[in-house]
Amino acid sequence: MQQLNSLDLNHNEINNISVLQNLQQLNSLDLGKNKFSSISALQHLQQLSSLTLYHNKLENIEILKHLKQLTNLSLSENGINDLLFLRDLIKLNSLDLSYNKIC
C-alpha cells in the first residue's frame, strides 16, 4: 500500500488519520466529511499536490505549511481562523476556505 498515488476516504467516520503517515507516495488525498481534529500525520506526505479536508473538526492546520507541493486544497466547513500557513504554500492554484471562522 505504500506505493499508492491517490486515496479517497471521503464520507467515513474516521477520527484518527495517523496510519496514513507511511503513505509517502500519495499525490492526492481526500479525507472530506470525517471526524478527525488532528492532521499531524500529514506532515510526512511531502508529495501531496491535492488535499481535501472539508467538513472535519480542524482548527489548527499550521502543519500544512510543510506540504510545499500542494496545488489544490479544500478546507471548507472546519473551525479554521488562522491563515498564516498559506504564506509557505506558493504552488497553490485552488483554495477553498468557505464556512470557517475566518475574521
Kindly report, residue by residue over 80-92, the tens digit of the pLDDT. Answer: 999 999 999 999 9
> What pLDDT is attached to residue 2?
72
Kindly report, residue by residue over 30-73, the tens digit of the pLDDT. Answer: 999 999 999 999 999 999 999 999 999 999 999 999 999 999 99
> What pLDDT is attached to residue 1?
72
The residues with which 29 forms a beta bridge, in sequence order, are 7, 51
> What pLDDT is attached to residue 62?
93
pTM listed for this prediction: 0.95
Task: Measure CA 89 to chain center.
Answer: 12
Place of cell 479554521: 80
User: Torsion over CA of 43, 46, 58 and 56, rounded to 10 degrees?
Assistant: -130
- CA within 13 Å, CB half, 64: 29
